[in-house]
Amino acid sequence: MTDENNQDRDAPPIKGIEEFNKYIRFIDVLPDDVKDRIAKHAHPLTGEQRNYRYDNYVLLAEIHHLHDSLCRVPTTSDLEKKGTISLPVYLNRFGTFQRAVEAAGFEPVFTTEQQKARYLAEYQDLADPDEAKPWSN
Q: Please give the mean pLDDT across all residues of the chain.
A: 77
122 in any annotated domain: no
For residue 64, what are the CA distances in angstroms to 60, 68, 83, 115, 125? 6, 6, 11, 23, 27
Angle between helices 17-29 and 56-70 (to 10 degrees): 90
Task: Give 19's pLDDT tier (boundaries 50, 70, 90).
Answer: low
> pLDDT, tens digit, for every residue of 37-94?
888 888 888 888 888 888 898 899 899 989 999 999 999 999 999 988 899 999 999 9
Indicate the number of domains in the chain.
1
133 within a domain of the structure (yes/no)? no
Range of the structural domain that residue 99 is part of: 14-107
Query: What does pTM read for this prediction?
Result: 0.70
- Judge whether 64 lies within some domain: yes
